[in-house]
Structure 1
């Protein structure tokens, strides 16, 4: 497992909880009150500073009418491929690639990329 996949695994519980909380439209404090845990517990899980057990995470999610579903699948090495590729880049090449990724993410957030893609399909 490469560094990208390892970071994903380390933050998995926090990402699941953050998405479920956003879906429910709750603050950390509100979720904590509903689940009967301290707000600091929710904050530590979401930040990756605490890794809850599966039963604890399931109980917190159940408090907002969500459930976890876990599937076993073959390991996907696509992140490992990019980690290996990035390891061979010079620092300036890596910064340039990160800049391109940052620009892409900004365009997604602003919605400008969606408009550009839609206009391309409209012209076709």
Structure 2
């Protein structure tokens, strides 16, 4: 069965709450008296859990699910409005961007994706540092990951770990590190960039117009923000 937004959201919240308590899927399954495979499928959004199973899983972590209704995609409008009102410098600090960049010195890279959009003033959610790097630098990137406790995203398990670090290996180009999550776009040559400056620091970023062509999610959010902004002004 294809995953719905609600099923995906429930799986994400379940995984976040479990990881916040430093529980493995197997440990949570034992506490809730369900199978580890069921927990994994729910977290990946592959299974719509029954209400009793959902209650047992969250009760095992001393929390409960609260149900409410809202206008369709109201969460996006609220999130965009909240981000648009926050200073860019505050969002840079929250992401830990400068700390990460200060340590990504072993190979050339540029900022792309939602990270680049943030630095150009776009009110899009950013939950990982996104970089573009060359395939010929992949071994140096792997060495950096090994030193900095890198773990690659495991789509099968719905969490980090248990798969090879190397970008050449199949899988999403997404890693957790001691400095936070990094997502990479692998390319033969680095894309053209522009320079933006915040807080006395220069950043090389992929231009917003290029991101809107290559990043459908960011483009959709930007269109939504512009439409909402026009409606408020009119």
Same fold (TM over 0.5): yes
The aligned counterpart of 1:95 is none
The aligned counterpart of 1:62 is 59
- 1:100 aligns to 2:113 (yes or no): yes
What do the CA deviations read for 1:36-70 (whole angstroms, capped 9, x no partner)? 11111101111111110222111111012110111
Which structure features the higher share of helix residues? Answer: 1
- Equivalent residue runs for 1:42-121 within 5 Å: 42-76=39-73, 99-101=112-114, 105-106=128-129, 109=180, 119=199
Shift in Å, 1:102 = 5.8
The aligned counterpart of 1:40 is 37
The aligned counterpart of 1:93 is none
Distance in 1 of aligned mates of 2:64 and 2:75: 28
Q: Which has the higher contact order (CA 8 A, sep 6+)?
A: 1
Distance in 1 of aligned mates of 2:28 and 2:45: 17
Cα–Cα, structure 1 residues 78 and 19, in superposed 2: closer, same or farther, change >3 Å?
Answer: closer
Shift in Å, 1:77 = 5.8
What do the CA deviations read for 1:3-48 (whole angstroms, capped 9, x no partner)? xxx8532412211210111122101011011111111110111111
Distance in 2 of aligned mates of 1:16 and 1:58: 13
Distance in 1 of aligned mates of 2:11 and 2:33: 18
Distance in 2 of aligned mates of 1:47 and 1:13: 10
Three-state SS of the structure 2 residue aligned to 1:11 is helix
Provide structure 1 residue ranges, at least 5 long, that are not aligned to the other structure: 1-5, 80-98, 111-115
Distance in 2 of aligned mates of 1:52 and 1:7: 12
Instruction: Please provide the CA RMSD for this pair.
Output: 3.1
Provide structure 2 residue ranges, at least 5 long, that are not aligned to the other structure: 77-111, 117-125, 131-178, 182-196, 201-234
Cα–Cα, structure 1 residues 45 and 109, in superposed 2: closer, same or farther, change >3 Å?
Answer: same
TM-score of the superposition, structure 1-length normalised?
0.58
Distance in 2 of aligned mates of 1:56 and 1:31: 12
2:25 to 8, 25, 28: 28
Cα–Cα, structure 1 residues 63 and 77, in superposed 2: closer, same or farther, change >3 Å?
Answer: closer
Distance in 2 of aligned mates of 1:101 and 1:8: 21
